[in-house]
Amino acid sequence: MPKDYYQILGVSRNASQEDIEKAFDKLAHKHHPDKGGDEKKFKEINEAYQVLSNKEKREQYDKFGQTFEGAQAGGPGGFGFNWSWGGSNETPREEDFGFNFENFGDLGDMLEEIFNFGGGAPRRRKETKKGRDIEISLELSLEDTLSGQEREIPLAKVIICPRCHGSGAEPGTKMKTCPTCGGSGQVQQVRRTILGSFASTMTCPQCQGEGKMPEESCHVCRGEGRVKSEERVKVFIPAGINTDQVIKAEGKGEAGKKGGRAGDLYIRVLVKPHPVFERKRDDLYTSAQISFSQAALGDEIEIQTLEGTKILLKVPSGTESGKILRISGKGIPHFSGYGRGNLFVELIVKTPKKLTKKQKELLEKLKEEGI
């Protein structure tokens, strides 16, 4: 049975993109192998997210399911086709169907091969050699966002076979012409449909369209050219990055097939909450307590910055509790690389709960003075 991607992510079929992203972030964080999670479950979650986060893939999945099991349901007219074209002796054209078959991926390839749209020889089925993209989550502390840094991330993924370097052949052996397709990379296939039997061209299943194959397959990858392994990938995390921002590392995904381009690595950043500072955009917010006398007379107090250094903040006389003061340039660096946000400090006037005899006497005198 095809997988239910909505069930895997735990969302309804009418979930918004925001709901899907939140569900993925939560599950990916829980099941990530680097955090002791189940690698198989993590891959399943990632697979579901790759489909449901892509508008076109999601629409296709909603219509046909993962394996396009609904594609042939209902027989003629199941897609809303107009099965009457021109005359009985005319060849159907793509425009007679009212849409472009390229939008249907492998299903479109099959239909184009069957009906041979455009005349000439049936076109060869596309074989995707590009490696799979990978998306992971990376946790950072608020302090980590103050400067750009390089991180080394362990990834369990498919890499190029170190023995055959991706060729699939045992070192020292030669490549030979595929006996099934004779080197063309294609074979003829007869398909029986509701309109009769049609001959179509498909990718050779023995050589996967290469037209050649090794005399002896690599002992490590068994001719695949790729193996599962763990690789430590170095990525640069720029200063000022925030939660839910995604970094793309080109070519750091899974290895391509038989010389194909490697996939990309997408790193979704999660910045952990800080016990002292709250981040809003590139500004930081904190609070500081002052005494009644400091609020009334004014003073200078020490404020700790996110870097861990201390700076003096001038409290003006007559300050009321809740007043917010700004310290320029002590927030988070702007993602553009130019300048920084500000640090805002809320002053809280502390009312003493226990007073000495002398303090009470002084306050009584101030009370008499109307203060």
- Strand-pairing partners, residue 266, are 135, 248
The DSSP output letter for 249 is: E
Q: Is residue 33 part of a domain?
A: yes
* Residue 289 near residue 303 (C-beta atoms within 8 A): no
Last residue of some domain: 26, 44, 66? 66
Is pLDDT of 332 > 60?
Answer: yes
Q: Which of 26-40, 175-189, 222-236, 329-343 has the lowest mean pLDDT?
A: 26-40
Is pLDDT of 124 > 50?
Answer: no
Is pLDDT of 107 > 60?
Answer: no
Give the helix ranges, DSSP H, for the chain.
5-9, 17-31, 39-52, 55-64, 105-115, 292-297, 357-368
* Residue 129 near residue 188 (C-beta atoms within 8 A): no
Q: Is residue 359 part of a domain?
A: yes
Domain that holds residue 31: 1-66
Signed CA dihedral, 217, 220, 226, 228: sign only: positive
Give pLDDT, residue 341: 94
Please state the rounded mean pLDDT for residues 197-209.
77
Give pLDDT, residue 120: 41
Q: Is residue 41 part of a domain?
A: yes
Most confidently predicted of 18-27, 86-95, 203-212, 300-309: 300-309
Strand 343-349 and strand 196-203: the pairing is: unpaired
Name which residue leads in pLDDT, 91 or 21.
21
Structural tokens at position 228: 């599962």
Place of tokens 């068994």: 222
Give pLDDT, residue 367: 76
Give pLDDT, residue 84: 35
Q: Provide the percentage of residues in the chain whose pLDDT is more than 90.
A: 30
Q: Is residue 12 part of a domain?
A: yes
Q: Is residue 200 part of a domain?
A: no
- Strand-pairing partners, residue 348, are 289
Give pLDDT, residue 279: 94
Give pLDDT, residue 125: 41
Give pLDDT, residue 324: 95
Last residue of some domain: 66, 89, 109? 66
The DSSP output letter for 35 is: G
pLDDT band at 25 (very low <50, low <70, confident <90, very high): confident
Q: Provide the percentage of residues in the chain whose pLDDT is more than 70.
A: 80
56-80 pLDDT, tens digit each: 888 888 877 653 333 333 333 333 3
Q: Is residue 47 part of a domain?
A: yes
Give pLDDT, residue 299: 92
Give pLDDT, residue 2: 65
Q: Is residue 356 part of a domain?
A: yes
The three-state secondary structure class of 97 is: helix
Is pLDDT of 275 > 90?
Answer: yes
Give pLDDT, residue 307: 92
- Burial level of 44, CB count in 10 A (0-12/13-18/19+)? middle
Q: What total of structural domains would you count in the chain?
A: 2
Is pLDDT of 266 > 90?
Answer: yes
Most confidently predicted of 66-75, 118-127, 143-152, 214-223: 143-152
Give pLDDT, residue 1: 54
- How would DSSP label each residue in 131-173? PPPEEEEEEE-GGGGGS-EEEEEEEEEEEE-TTTTTS-BPTTP
Residue 342's CATH number: 2.60.260.20
Give pLDDT, residue 194: 67
Residue 23's CATH number: 1.10.287.110
Is pLDDT of 268 > 60?
Answer: yes
Q: Is residue 84 part of a domain?
A: no
pLDDT band at 272 (very low <50, low <70, confident <90, very high): very high
Last residue of some domain: 66, 96, 120? 66
Is pLDDT of 315 > 90?
Answer: yes
Task: Say how far apart CA 131 and CA 222 lie, in whole Å.
Answer: 18
The three-state secondary structure class of 201 is: strand
